[in-house]
Amino acid sequence: MSRHNIVLSVNGKRTSLEVESDRSLLDVIREDLKLTGTKRGCDNGDCGACTVLLNGKPVNSCLVLAVQADGQDVSTIEGVALDDELHPIQEAFIEHGAVQCGFCTPAMIMTAKVLIEETPQPTREEIKKAISGTLCRCTGYVQIIDAIQSCGQSSK
């Protein structure tokens, strides 16, 4: 096991850490940085609850070694709200009943944020494909898709 000093940007903030080689980015986000919005669902890439943005792209943070985040940009759910206001995507999730237990919600929102930035008015099929890597056991997905689609339409 080796130890590494890393410097990364977390939600825009320069962050220095010492990490052991075998710790995952998920471990470090939750345990060292105390950013517990990102959830540990399965720890092996099968559920998507741990999704964060690595250089703007959704990844399973359980499958990224913390040391691999050296020099990279990491965005978590804590960075989504704008100062005192919720992001429009977060508002849409609430309005559409897309949050039940909330465990998949951070991952869904991170994914939705990237989707809408890349495809301002996504179709339902595009939304389904984008969220296909995150499981929800509560909602049956319809409200989540509705919420994301409503954001797309309103960003005209």
Q: Which residues bind other proteins (CB under 8 A)?
A: 1-2, 4, 20-22, 24, 43-48, 51, 54, 57-60, 63-65, 67-68, 111, 129-130, 132-135
Smallest CA-to-CA distance from 66 within 143, 144, 2, 142 is with: 2
Q: Is the Cβ of residue 8 or residue 67 nearer to other proteins in the bound state?
A: 67
Least separation, in Å, of the C-beta of 17 and other proteins? 14
Q: Is the Cβ of residue 91 or residue 138 nearer to other proteins in the bound state?
A: 138
Q: Is the Cβ of residue 69 or residue 98 nearer to other proteins in the bound state?
A: 69
Least separation, in Å, of the C-beta of 133 and other proteins? 3
Least separation, in Å, of the C-beta of 19 and other proteins? 9
Least separation, in Å, of the C-beta of 147 and other proteins? 18
Q: Is the Cβ of residue 51 or residue 90 nearer to other proteins in the bound state?
A: 51
Q: How many residues belong to the chain?
A: 156
Q: Is the Cβ of residue 88 or residue 133 nearer to other proteins in the bound state?
A: 133
Least separation, in Å, of the C-beta of 112 and other proteins? 12
Q: What is the 3-state secondary structure (H, E, C) of the chain?
A: CCEEEEEEEECCEEEEEEEECCCEHHHHHHHHCCCCCCCCCCCCCCCCCCEEEECCEEEEHHHCEHHHHCCCEEECHHHCCECCECCHHHHHHHHCCCCCCCCCHHHHHHHHHHHHHHCCCCCHHHHHHHHCCCCCCCCCCHHHHHHHHHHHHHCC
